[in-house]
Amino acid sequence: MSDSGYPIQVLDPAAPHQVHIIFPPRRRYWLHLLLFLATIFSTLIVGARLQYNYLNGAPQFTTDDDLLPVMWTLRQPSRLLLGIPFSAALLCILLAHEMGHVVYAKRHSVYATLPYFLPAPTVIGTFGAFIRIRSPIPDRTALMDIGIAGPIAGFVVAIPILVGSLILSPATGHSSGSPLGMPLIFEGLWRVLHPFSHTPLADANLHPSAIAAWVGMLATALNLLPAGQLDGGHIVYSIFPRFHRIATGLTAVALFPMGLFLWGGWLLWGAVLLLPWMHHPPVPEYPRIDRKRRLLGLAALLMFVVSFPLVPFAGHRPWEQLRPWIVAHLHR
């Protein structure tokens, strides 16, 4: 089940007067399907344990295994059914995000692969999903549309999931042991949906679908970082192409102190943004994008602000480990 796609006529950004006819490679549907099925399985395993912990009022990520609670699930395979709410919610958000890119790539005659889902032995059962763009992007309008379509689609799907799951999350008044740092949109909706509760969101017994929405919001925020070839980088390049390299450098520089004092993972993200393969490929500077798309850039900034958690996971602050060593050496 594969096809050679459709021929695409594109302008070469490096030589705008040259036209190329691109015949996309044959699609490997079997690989996309295999990875998707594997990700369904891995997220069902994680979701089953999350649902079990939710029903029993236990800390969210408690498990008998080191990573994926595989053995716990396989001892009673029917437990996989418990994982449906988490798995379905998470995969819907990720699929909406990636298909937003794919749909608008096709509208602008840009060849993009179908989504590759990545199963993984992590606390959420996946490393997310991605697509590959295999042909040049003809202009800044196409770049903006393709770049922002994914975050908008994923965000729109995540919002009703988040609202429904927060309604199902009782304000129990006892700590759920959550290691998750909550973005502004979680805190705001929690106050709206539980106006008479004095229980902070950190002490709520979160429904597994809320954790799926959290993962979706985190993916949106990370993709909207204004740097490199992330979605945010595409948006910056489409609006201010000459500022893109500066924005990438400033973002990386900002992430390093955040990594030292807030969450160590930001150090890795800052380093990744400085890698050569994160440089943006050339896109013709003219014609410029219209006012409507510039306003979409502001919408992207708003999505980033409300979905970005300064500390995604509790702990892992390198400064707390380095400080005693520094103090000891200063007093020698």
Full DSSP string of 75-144? TSGGGGGGGHHHHHHHHHHHHHHHHHHHHHHHHTT--BPPPEEEE-SSTTSEEEEE--B-S---SHHHHH
Q: Is residue 330's pLDDT more than 60?
A: no
Residue 2: band (very low, low, confident or very high) from pLDDT cuts 50, 70, 90: very low
CB 6 within 8 A of CB 24: yes
- 103-108, Cβ contacts within 8 angstroms, sequence gap of 24 or more: 103/149, 104/142, 104/145, 104/146, 104/149, 105/131, 105/133, 105/146, 107/145, 108/137, 108/138, 108/141, 108/142, 108/145, 108/146
CB 48 within 8 A of CB 80: yes
Please list the residues that pair with 8 across neighbouring strands. 22
**Tokens 């969450």, residue located:** 263
Residue 328: band (very low, low, confident or very high) from pLDDT cuts 50, 70, 90: low
Return the number of other C-beta atoms located less than 10 Å from residue 235's C-beta.
26
* Distance from C-alpha of 213 to C-alpha of 193, rounded to nearest angstrom: 16
Dihedral (Cα; 168, 124, 153, 313), 10-degree rounding: 80
Taking each helix axis from N to C end, the angle separating 291-307 and 184-193, rounded to the nearest 10 degrees, works out to 70
Q: Provide the pLDDT for residue 205.
A: 87
Residue 3: band (very low, low, confident or very high) from pLDDT cuts 50, 70, 90: very low
Nearest alpha-carbon partner for 205 in 178, 182, 233: 178
Q: Is residue 319's pLDDT more than 60?
A: no
Please list the residues that pair with 180 across neighbouring strands. 313
Residues 6+ away with beta carbon under 8 Å from 138: 10, 11, 13, 108, 109, 110, 284
Query: Radius of gyration of the chain from Cα atoms?
Result: 22
Q: Provide the pLDDT for residue 6.
A: 45
The string of pLDDT tens digits covering residues 128-167 is 999 999 888 999 999 999 999 999 999 999 999 999 999 9
Mean of pLDDT values over 40-56: 93
Nearest alpha-carbon partner for 117 in 219, 45, 37: 37
Q: Where are the alpha helices (DSSP H) in 120-205?
A: 140-167, 184-193
Q: Provide the pLDDT for residue 5.
A: 43
Q: Provide the pLDDT for residue 1.
A: 30
